[in-house]
Amino acid sequence: MSNAHSTPLTADFLIIGAGVAGLDLALRLAGHGDVILLSKAAVGESNSYYAQGGIAAVLDPADDLDSHIADTLVAGAGLCHEDTVRQVVENGPRSIRRLLDLGAPFTREAHKGGFHLTKEGGHSTRRVIHTADATGKAVVEILLERVLAHPRIHAYADHMAVDLVTSHKLGMFLPGQPNRCFGCYALEVESGRVLTFQSRFTILASGGAGKVYRYTTNPDVATGDGIAMAYRAGCRVANMEFMQFHPTCLFHPKAKSFLISEAVRGEGGILVLKNGEPFMKRHHPSADLAPRDIVARAIDYEMKRSGDDCVYLDITAKGRDFIEEHFPNIYKKCAELGIDMATEAIPVVPAAHYTCGGVVTDAHGATDLEGLYAIGEVSHTGLHGANRLASNSLLECLVYADAACESMLNRIRERPRFAHPNIPLWDSFGVHSCQEAVLISHNWDEIRRFMSNYVGIVRSNRRLACARRRSELLQQEINEFYWNCSITRDLLELRNISLVASLIIRSAIHRKESRGLHFTTDYPDRDDANWSQDTILPITE
Ligand code: FAD
Ligand code: SIN
């Protein structure tokens, strides 16, 4: 019996992912055609929803674009594409104005009337606009309300894209014709049916891959599906060695993935050891507000040196009223766990947070595949270089939603509606349901464990070689499950994290220097003469 759904679902635009990038783009496109919006969990469940600190943009008359550009370039450690940085920073204020027009409830400066701007690591001034310490939730809710009410946006929750449908996969190799994307297959998670979605344009807005690591600030959806799908379809993927670890994830047995915002340090919090001794001045002149790669590495070093399980973040000096006003969400979460952040320091550890690499795009989010765009954390636009500057990612989502929308609207006439070949139904002949779920759960654990131990904040040739051997073996095993077992969300995600893990390992092995988020004890120095270019792995089709 086939578990495929027989009628393809069609739209002008197919967006895979409903975080800030996907939601904002859906709203922009809906005035120009029908939009299908897929999300593999509830619509809006995303990294975006959990964003805390805010959105970086030049909003204060005393700030200037060149300063934001310079800070981004410094954080990016020589690998940012300057034209991309300029494009994103220059469009920042406009993107914020649009959110304000939609009703985003950004926090205002007490008694002064303007918006409160906070500070985060690597920024030379206060420029992060925010909604207390739950900015993502506020922005997602504003966008979601409009998306769900829009008659031309058809949102499919719990529908997981499995793979892209391309002309090459359909066996169409016409001379002079590029490889084209026609849509995707997607699993209806509840029923196990596989649906075919066809579109003029397909947009990956599927976020990052923090779940490749055991400890992460990311929610469960962040399994790098878009990066894996694009790579399998023949797109270039760049800079996967640069996985950003956030320095301060709450360390508590009952808290899964809870972030303690960098804004806590921006507003005066300091990192201390168990005995209360501050240590960041020993590592960088900017101390607690040094760029993130430096702070995370310093914490890793101090934890290994002392043998302690965590370090502590102390903001008690600011007093209860200030803390409750600025960080209500964090204050509440800590209190629920018995930590009073007004009187005691918060236990924290670094955790995988942001995927700086991704699917290579041009200045409009267009990928190597005709008809396929990638925006937001799934993409590699050149903005982040070897280390993303705090609060630049929500900004990138918004700026690239705008740029991609403009590009698709300019090209829409070139792509007549549904002049596609007949896409074959999903073929599940001969597969059986996997009777041994333990094989899947064990492999999940194994990948995440060796990635954390061998391909984490500090790497070495030996650790990377061990990781590669394990990764190759697991990939073979997982591919076997994929071809022989009925697909489930768990199995598809495992397939994707195993591919993304291998891309990270191969990229890390390739880069024989230390730079930004990639630090290896075998090549501890930055080597501009040989390594000041992006890592782009060979395409496999
Ligand atoms: P996401 O918001 O992650 O959305 C991805 C979407 O794709 C989800 O809807 C998911 O369900 C869907 N999806 C994934 N795979 C599939 C599939 N196969 N099929 C269908 N749907 C799929 N950045 C800032 O700039 N400022 C901050 O203050 C900030 N704080 C952060 C705090 C936390 C805890 C975290 C985790 C990140 C933070 N970041 C912050 C980073 C920022 O939130 C993300 O980079 C950004 O939100 C990514 O948005 P996105 O739309 O690209 O992806
Ligand atoms: C934070 O609030 O610390 C997260 C900011 C970011 O990741 O950009």
Going by pLDDT thresholds of 50, 70 and 90, the confidence category of residue 2 is: very low
Question: By the 8 A CB rule, do 89 and 69 touch?
Answer: yes
For residue 361 and ligand 1, the question of a CB distance below 6 A is answered with no
Between the two ends of the chain, the Cα-to-Cα distance in Å is: 29
Q: For residue 92, which of 123, 46, 121 has the smallest C-alpha distance?
A: 123
What are 243's strand-pairing partners? 355
Instruction: Give pLDDT tens digits for 260-283.
Output: 999 999 999 999 999 999 999 999
Q: Which is higher by pLDDT, 429 or 61? A: 61
DSSP conformation class of 180 = B
Indicate the pLDDT class of residue 193, thresholds 50, 70 and 90.
Answer: very high
The reported pLDDT for the residue numbered 177 is 87
Distance set, CA 83 to CA 69, 89, 382 (Å): 10, 10, 9
Q: Is the pLDDT of residue 1 over 60?
A: no
Query: Active-site residue numbers?
Result: 292
Task: Give yes or no for residue 3 having a pLDDT over 60.
Answer: no
CB of 41 shorter than 6 A to ligand 1? yes
* Distance in Å, CA 46 to ligand 2 centroid: 14
Give me the residue spans of the domains in the chain.
9-240+357-414, 243-353, 437-537
Q: Is the CB of 390 under 6 A from ligand 2?
A: yes
Q: Is the pLDDT at 85 greater than 70, yes or no?
A: yes
Between 337 and 112, residue with greater pLDDT: 337
pLDDT in tens, 506-521: 999 999 999 999 999 9
- C-alpha dihedral sign at 64, 87, 207, 354: negative
Q: What is the pLDDT of residues 96-106, one digit of tens each?
A: 999 999 999 99
At 406-425, the pLDDT tens digits run 999 999 988 766 656 678 88
Residue 70 CA to ligand 2 center (angstroms) comes to 19
Question: Which range, of 144-148, 175-179, 381-385, 461-465, averages the lowest pLDDT?
Answer: 175-179
CA 461–ligand 1 middle distance (angstroms)? 31
**Residue 110 confidence (pLDDT) above 90:** no
Q: Is 393 in the pocket of ligand 2 (CB under 6 A)?
A: yes
**In the chain, pLDDT over 90 holds for what percent of residues?**
88
* Ligand 2 centroid distance, CA of 120 (Å): 8
Closest CA to 103 of 151, 134, 150, 139: 139
Question: Is any atom of ligand 1 closer than 6 Å to the C-beta of 53?
Answer: yes
Ligand nearest to the CA of 392: 1
Q: Residues 520, 524, 525, 528: is their CA dihedral positive or negative?
A: negative
Q: Indicate the CATH number of 9-240+357-414 among 3.40.50.10420, 3.40.50.300, 3.50.50.60, 3.30.470.20.
A: 3.50.50.60
Phi, psi of 472 (to 5 degrees): -65, -40
318 CB within 6 A, ligand 1: no
Q: Please name which ligand lies nearest the alpha carbon of 131.
A: 1
In angstroms, the CA 297 to CA 172 distance is 48
CATH of domain 437-537: 1.20.58.100
Asked if residue 262 has its Cβ within 6 Å of ligand 2, the reply is yes
Average pLDDT over residues 495-509: 98
Q: Report which bound ligand comes closest to the CA of 22.
A: 1
Average pLDDT of the residues of the chain: 95
Bridge partners (DSSP) of residue 115 are 108
**Confidence at 152, pLDDT banded by 50, 70, 90:** very high
Beta strands in 276-325 (DSSP E): 311-314
Using the atom order of ligand 2, give the atom closest to the CA of residue 390.
8
Which residue's CA is the nearest one to ligand 1's atom 29? 51
- Cα-to-centroid distance, 390 and ligand 1 (Å): 14
- CA of 353 from ligand 2 middle (Å) equals 9
Atom of ligand 2 nearest to the CA of 388: 8
Mutational pocket test of ligand 1: of 384, 394, 402, 499, the residue with most ligand atoms within 8 Å of the beta carbon: 394
Q: Does domain 243-353 have CATH number 3.90.700.10?
A: yes
Report the nearest-CA residue for atom 30 of ligand 1: 51
In the structure, how many helices (H) and strands (E) does the chain have? 16, 17
Instruction: Tell me the three-class secondary structure of 106-156, residue by residue.
Output: CCECCCCCCECEECCCCCCCCCEECCCCCHHHHHHHHHHHHHHHCCCEEEE
Q: What is the mean pLDDT of residues 162-176?
A: 92
